[in-house]
Amino acid sequence: MGAKTNHQDTKAATSKGGSGEGSPVKRNTAKTKDKILKAARREFCSHGYNGARIKKIAARARINIRMIYHYFESKENLYMSVLESSYLEVRGKEMELDLQHLEPVEAMTALVEFTFTHLLNHPDFISLLTNENLLGGEHVRKSKLVPATTNPLMANVQDILLRGKKAQVFYREVDPIQLYITILSMCYVHLSNKHTLSSMFQMDLSDPEWLQARLQHVQDVVLCYLGHPVTS
């Protein structure tokens, strides 16, 4: 089955109905699917798509293998649902920042901090992205949900930039996609390359004080690029 099935599965797993509302059958279905997705996420993060095994996912979730195929039909559909649910999680939390109601500088600072902190606290998401990129984005290209959930984020970034220009706190003409990729890069590379960079510089890049300084540095770089003076 294609991405349509994955989209429906992911929506069902993240909807309010899956949080305990509705009939006992629906609650049990949502609970079972959530267990499968959590177990699958760990397996795919640890072994990638090719190395992951449905048998191990079933064992992690403590369910029958047949239940996985009943709900997701195939390994690819399950992997797609894991990918999509991971993107839904981060996009949902970004929307909770309510960036459109923050002043431009505060909004941009909050977006950088959230991106930095989410990646720091979700190494499994980094593993998923790394593994999928090693596959050339073969599976994520099939998803309609991933680009659909990214559009509101880009609209928010564009809105922050426009409001910042109007308020004369930002002075550059900046492409929102270019800017977000830059933010993502600065919040990502010290995590994805943590071990090699720590060896190169003979320092612990997981040290909380260093990470706090890194966050401040990224925020300052972004604001300075946009033309807003920083005092730190």
3.30.70.60, 1.10.357.10, 2.60.120.10, 3.20.20.70: CATH of 1-78: 1.10.357.10
Q: Spell out the domain ranges in the chain.
A: 1-78, 97-232
Pick left, alpha or beta for residue 168 (phi over 0 → left; psi -120 to 50 → alpha; otherwise beta).
Answer: left
Q: What percentage of residues in the chain have a pLDDT greater than 90?
A: 84
Averaged confidence pLDDT in the chain: 89
Q: Does 92 score more than 60 pLDDT?
A: yes
For the cut 70, the answer to whether the pLDDT of residue 4 exceeds it is: no
**What global pTM score does this model have?**
0.83
Q: How confident is the model at residue 29 (pLDDT cuts 50, 70, 90)?
A: confident
User: Which pLDDT band, with edges at 50, 70 and 90, does 197 fall under?
Assistant: very high
Closest by CA position to 87, among listed 144, 145, 130: 145
Quick one: average pLDDT of 130-144? 94
pLDDT value, residue 232: 58
Q: In CATH terms, are 1-78 and 97-232 the same topology? A: yes
**Mean pLDDT, rounded, for 32-55:** 95
Tokens 């309010």 found at: 16
Query: Which residues lie below 8 Å from residue 113, measured CB to CB, with a gap of 6+?
Result: 215, 219
Residue 22 binned pLDDT confidence (cut-offs 50, 70, 90): low
pLDDT digits (tens, 9 = 90+) for 138-149: 999 999 999 999
Query: What contacts 30, CB < 8 A, 6 or more positions away?
Result: 12, 13, 15, 17, 18, 19
Q: Does 19 score more than 70 pLDDT?
A: no
Residue 15 has pLDDT above 50, yes or no: no
pLDDT band at 230; cut points 50, 70, 90: confident
CATH code of domain 97-232:
1.10.357.10
